[in-house]
């Protein structure tokens, strides 16, 4: 199948090329992000392969359909950047990689939490300057603290399990479906408002949907405990950035660790070190000593990249052979039934 691969980085090409030896698709690697302006580059390609910040809104999908594209292959789990109703109307199938390596994201989430809470990046910066003073680096034990996990799907369940059974945290969870195994480990499901009110640390692992948009906002933070630590490796728009800034200034928030940012499409995945960043909210966030931001890299492990490439190309092979698309987004319910 002829595939236009958007938002290609060297590592995407490396892992897709390696996986393609078993499939032999014709992969055309493109650096630009997909949007309505770059969609014509895919004219004549039956498939486009895209990532988290490609924008598949109605005009983009219409341009793709006009050029003959029949399938969109997301090389990620989230699909909030695709107008699924329009894709369905145009007869464009959408496939994703639902579970490439939940461990990659879960481990990174806990890594971010520990790095923020134990001041590891600050300590590292000091030691590089031969400053071995410890004042200002006092952290807190994770053991015994109350952590709220919002969304206990593939990633959230691993985080909850590890915090509960590994670190000995008191883990609260909020999800529209409860995980019986987690409950047996001692994880307690509570309504979201109760979770926000009781947690010392909150980590977000639910998808971005109209219901979860700005889940963390001024109102919800007002009910939170003072000094709340927030971790978000899920999607930026789960939190209202201005509310985070206000919360940090008022000390309601004691620390924020983000791998995702609401306006990240204008920033992440590019080297902008010589550019003027015009996003004042992002720049403000960076000025806080208790904010730690990474550029959407929680997924970035060899295992995950291999799995993403293999699953994506297998979906295209199945589509070409007319087989059922097991990873189709349109066909499946967003909310998975629990086994």
Q: By CB under 6 A, name the binding residues for ligand NAD.
A: 77-78, 99, 102, 105, 150-156, 174-177, 205-209, 211-212, 233-235, 259-260, 296, 298-299, 335-336
Which residue, 39 or 260, has its beta carbon nearer to ligand NAD? 260
Q: Which is nearer to ligand NAD, 141 or 209 (CB)?
A: 209
User: What are the angstrom distances between the C-alpha of 129 and each of 123, 124, 287?
Assistant: 10, 9, 20
Tokens for 17? 């090329």
Could you give the residue ranges of the DSSP H alpha helices within the chain? 10-20, 58-66, 84-90, 102-117, 120-128, 154-161, 180-185, 192-198, 218-222, 241-249, 280-287, 302-320
Furthest-apart CA atoms within the chain: distance in Å? 64
Among candidate residues 235, 270, 284, 332, the one labeled active-site is 235
Find, among 231, 199, 228, the residue nearest to 110 by Cα. 231
Instruction: Find the shortest distance in angstroms from Cβ 269 to ligand NAD.
Output: 11
Under 8 Å between Cβ of 137 and 122? yes
Question: Least distance (Å) from ligand NAD to the CB of residue 250?
Answer: 26
Residue number, 104 or 123, with CB nearest to ligand NAD: 104
Around 89, how many Cα atoms within 13 Å sit in the side-chain half-sphere?
10
Number of residue whose CB is nearest ligand NAD: 153
Min CB(155)–ligand NAD separation in Å = 3
Q: Which residues pair with 255 in a beta bridge?
A: 229
R_g (Cα) of the chain, nearest Å: 21
d(CA 97, CA 74): 7
Taking the least distance from each CB to ligand NAD, the nearer of 249 and 336 is 336
The single residue of 200, 262, 264, 310 carrying the catalytic annotation is 264
Closest contact distance (angstroms) between CB of 235 and ligand NAD is 4
**Min dist. Cβ of residue 37 to ligand NAD (A):** 25
Q: Is 264 a catalytic residue?
A: yes
What's the first-to-final CA gap in the chain, in angstroms? 35
Q: Toward ligand NAD, which CB reaches closer, 69 or 294?
A: 294
- Which residues have a Cβ under 8 Å from the Cβ of 321 and sit 6 or more positions away? none
Is 310 among the catalytic positions? no
User: Which is nearest to 78 in space by CA: 204, 255, 174?
Assistant: 204
Q: How far is the CB of 288 from ligand NAD (least distance, A)?
A: 21
For ligand NAD, give the closer residue by CB, 39 or 310.
310
Question: Whose Cβ is closer to ligand NAD: residue 53's or residue 60's?
Answer: 53
Closest CA to 196 of 233, 149, 235, 163: 149
Question: Whole-number minimum distance, CB 177 to ligand NAD, in Å?
Answer: 5
Residue 210: exposure state from Cβ atoms within 10 A (0-12, 13-18, ≥19): exposed
In the set 296, 310, 336, 338, the catalytic residue is 296
| Total number of residues shown for the chain | 339
Q: Which residues are catalytic?
A: 235, 264, 296
């Amino acid at each position: 199948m002829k595939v236009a691969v958007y938002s290609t980085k060297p590592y995407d090409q490396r892992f897709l090329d390696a996986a393609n030896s078993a499939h032999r698709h014709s992969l055309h690697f493109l650096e630009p992000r997909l949007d309505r302006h770059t969609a014509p580059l895919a004219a004549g390609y039956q498939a486009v392969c895209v990532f988290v910040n490609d924008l598949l809104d109605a005009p983009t999908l219409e341009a793709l359909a006009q050029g003959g594209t029949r399938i969109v292959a997301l090389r990620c789990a989230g699909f909030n950047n695709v107008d699924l109703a329009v894709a369905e109307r145009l007869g464009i199938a959408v496939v994703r990689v639902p579970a490439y390596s939940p461990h990659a994201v879960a481990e990174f989430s806990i890594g971010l939490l520990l790095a923020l809470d134990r001041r590891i990046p600050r300590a590292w910066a000091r030691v590089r300057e031969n400053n071995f003073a410890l004042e200002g680096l006092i952290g807190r034990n994770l053991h015994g603290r109350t952590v709220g996990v919002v969304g206990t799907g593939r990633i959230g369940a691993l985080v909850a399990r590890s915090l509960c059974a590994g670190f000995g945290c008191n883990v609260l969870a909020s999800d529209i479906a409860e995980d019986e195994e987690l409950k047996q480990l001692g994880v307690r499901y509570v309504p979201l408002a109760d979770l926000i009110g009781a947690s010392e640390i909150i980590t977000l692992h639910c998808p971005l949907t109209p219901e979860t948009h700005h889940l963390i906002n001024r109102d919800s933070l007002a009910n939170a405990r003072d000094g709340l630590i927030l971790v978000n490796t899920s999607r930026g728009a789960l939190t209202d950035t201005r509310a985070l800034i206000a919360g940090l200034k008022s000390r309601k928030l004691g620390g924020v660790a983000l791998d995702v940012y609401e306006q990240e499409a204008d920033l992440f995945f590019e080297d902008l070190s010589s550019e003027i960043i015009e996003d004042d909210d992002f720049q403000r966030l960076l000025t806080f000593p208790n904010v730690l931001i990474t550029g959407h890299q929680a997924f970035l492990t060899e295992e995950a990249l291999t799995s993403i490439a293999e699953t994506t190309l297998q979906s295209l092979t199945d589509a070409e052979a007319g087989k059922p698309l097991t990873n189709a987004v349109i066909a499946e319910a967003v909310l998975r039934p629990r086994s």
